[in-house]
Structure 1
Amino acid sequence: MTSEDVVKRKGGGVWGVIARYVRVTDAISDYVGYLAASLVFFMGAALIFDAITRNLIKMPVHWAVELTQFLLAAYYFMGGPFTLRNGEHVRMDLWYATLSERGKAKIDLATIGCLIFYLGVMLAGSISSLQYAIATNEKRFSIWNPSVIPIKALLTVCLVLMLMQSFSLVFKHIATLRGEKL
């Protein structure tokens, strides 16, 4: 049963809103994940540019490696919601793989509370860190001296999206226990 079937059968209502929330959150996570995957090309280009300018032209650019570090951090942050959405995170499959779909949903519901708590704590810390960075115009101590505000803002946004995706998973697991599919 698709999310549209749930909406039609329930006549909209709460499950209709939940189905739309899940659909929108999953779409955003997919988009952000594919955008993150494209960052690999920019990282490669920056490192190749650095190698050429350093070794062939003998005129090194000091920002290329640091830019690659920022892009790698963005890659990790943006990949989190996509990984959650597609169930590609690491888990111990010793006995989990032998469970039925309902059994897996019960275990996932029991453990996702820990994830939501962890992400909430991380979000509170990232908001505090972003506020400090904005208040002090925080910069990296390097030759390039870039602002860290954009990467801290991206971390905060991605943590919000991971929380949204976590709640989407909660709704999907509840639907599985009800014998429905979102």
Structure 2
Amino acid sequence: MPGWARAYVRWVEGLNYRIGRIVIYLLFVMMAILLWSSISKTFFLPSLWTLEMAQFTLVAYYMLGGPYSMQMGMHVRMDLLYSRWTRRQRAWVDAFTIVALLVYLSVFIWGGISSTTYALEYNERSYSAWAPLMWPIKSLMVLAGVLMLLQAIACLIRDIAITRGEEI
């Protein structure tokens, strides 16, 4: 594989690894929000913001954690035949499915940019009592989609290297 391809894979995987290791702790943030929600409902007035904030935290957790889980091979895979194949056969199948993922992610990012632009232009808010602005979570989803796209390309490059008998 060319040097630029190896550098790209190392850079993207390093970035997504660091982000993924930080995002792991958002689970504790969400737990703290839900704990506060329980405490405030029991002893004080119920908080208006806790449910949506917990949902936004969960969205950040799984969207930003996606590229990390893809990099680590922790995503769900149908293992009827896959485990019996050689490493090279797996790489061929993975490369084919990653191409489909790239198409999906392109559409996802395009729609996300459109939705984020709308949220910014019209100062879109959630239809709840708290009514938070929607552009921050929509922007985060676009960022996560871009990171997943970069990781998918890195995985594709890695799979192509494996089909050629090389390692990155």
TM-score, length basis structure 1:
0.89
Q: Which residue number in structure 2 is paired with residue 43 of structure 1?
A: 30
Q: Does the residue aligned with 1:103 lie in a helix, a strand or coil?
A: helix
Q: Which residue number in structure 2 is paired with residue 162 of structure 1?
A: 148
RMSD: 1.1
State the 1:177 CA deviation.
1.4
State the 1:58 CA deviation.
2.8
Runs of 4+ in 1 over 3 A off after TM superposition: none
Matches within 5 A, 1:166-177: 166-177=152-163
**Separation in 1 of the partners of 2:4 and 2:48?**
50
Matches within 5 A, 1:15-94: 15-55=2-42, 57-94=43-80
Q: 2:115 aligns with which of 129, 133, 152?
A: 129
Q: Which residue number in structure 1 is paired with residue 126 of structure 2?
A: 140
State the 1:151 CA deviation.
0.5
**Separation in 2 of the partners of 1:58 and 1:133?**
33
Number of aligned positions between the proteins: 168
Letter in 1 for 2:12: T
User: Which residues of structure 1 form unaligned runs of 5+?
Assistant: 1-13
Residue identity over aligned pairs, in percent, reads 39
Max radius of gyration: which structure?
1
TM-score, length basis structure 2:
0.96
